Structures are given as C-alpha cells and as structure tokens.
Amino acid sequence: MKLFLIGMMGSGKSYWAQQLATQYHTNWMDLDAEIEKETSQTIKEIFETAGEAQFRLIERNALHNLAAHQNIIIATGGGTPCFHNNMQWMNEQGITIWIDEPIPVLVKRLIPERSHRPLIKNLSDGELATFLEKKLAERKPFYSQAKHTINSTTVKTDTLHHLINQLTDKPING
C-alpha cells in the first residue's frame, strides 16, 4: 500500500508520516528531504539556482521514484499535488489524505521555520497569513481531490490508524 499525505506547508505531513510508519513498521519518506538528498542541494538552493519550474520537475521525478516502493508513506511537499498531474497520479497509485489545518495554526508553526522555506522566507508575520490564505485558495482545487481529509480536530494516531484500516484490506506492512 502507498499512502500520500498532502497539505499546506506546516500542516504536519512529515510528523504524521513518521508516526504512522512507526506504528505500521513500514518506511516513510519526506519528499523534500529525498529531493535534497538526490540533488545535494537544499530546496531553497534549488529554487534560487534553477527556479520553481525546474524544482517541480525534479519533485515529480522524485515522487514517482519513491512511489515505486510497495509499502510506503510519503509526506509530499505543499505544492506537489498542484503540478504535472501529480494529484491524479497519487490517487491512482495509492491513498491520498489531505491534512487540512487552519491558517492560524499554519502561521504559528511556520514563523520559526521561515528561513529555510523559499516561498515564505521574506514575509513578515502579517504577510505570511495573507500568503497562506492565497496559496490555499490556489491549491484547494487540487487538495480537495484527495480521497480523505482530516484536520487538527480529527488527526490523531488512533483516528489515522482506524481510517487506514478501513481503507485497506491488510496492514500497510502486510
């Protein structure tokens, strides 16, 4: 089984991928971390030297490479579902879950992380909220194609475990 966690930056995709992988004794990957490993550059450096369009091609290829694994949980980048038919492809390959967190939660989580996030590195606190609202409006048509949606009121290990068990006829590592 393949599980793709999607959502805005700061929504907790990597955190929940790691929690679920531990619970199911399976592999998990953070797509951005894999890109950095493969390219020997940070996401910030790729954006600065090659631009977003090139980054999105690298991201697509990395996504396809990771999904070649049979049993894996993948925490995607926030923009991953919005380019190169990635959302449709992920839905065809496995289970997609949108972690839909409110903008104030995202702002609180992202303020201390701005410096290594290329899309928000130069934004003030006020600009960050406006940026996230705009970006969410752009991405929502893609995110809403996820097979399932959860948020901070429902995202707990037990809830995710129950959801995954409902969606699969065998455990992830089975």
User: Can you give the residue ranges of every domain in the chain?
Assistant: 2-167
- Mean pLDDT in residue range 110-124: 90
**pTM, full prediction:** 0.90
Question: Which option is the CATH number for 2-167: 3.40.50.300, 3.60.20.10, 3.80.10.10, 2.40.30.10?
Answer: 3.40.50.300
Q: How far is the C-alpha of 120 from the C-alpha of 112, rounded, in Å?
A: 11
75-79, 99-103, 145-149, 150-154, range with the lowest pLDDT: 150-154
**Per-residue pLDDT tens for 155-173?**
666 667 677 777 665 444 4
Contacts of 168 (CB under 8 A, 6+ apart): 1, 95
Buried/exposed code over 140-161 (b: 16+ C-beta within 10 A; e: otherwise): eebbeebeeebeeeebeeeebe
**pLDDT (tens digit, 9 = 90+) per residue, 43-75?**
989 999 999 999 999 999 999 998 889 899 999
Region 85-94: what's the mean pLDDT? 97
Residue 164 has what pLDDT? 73
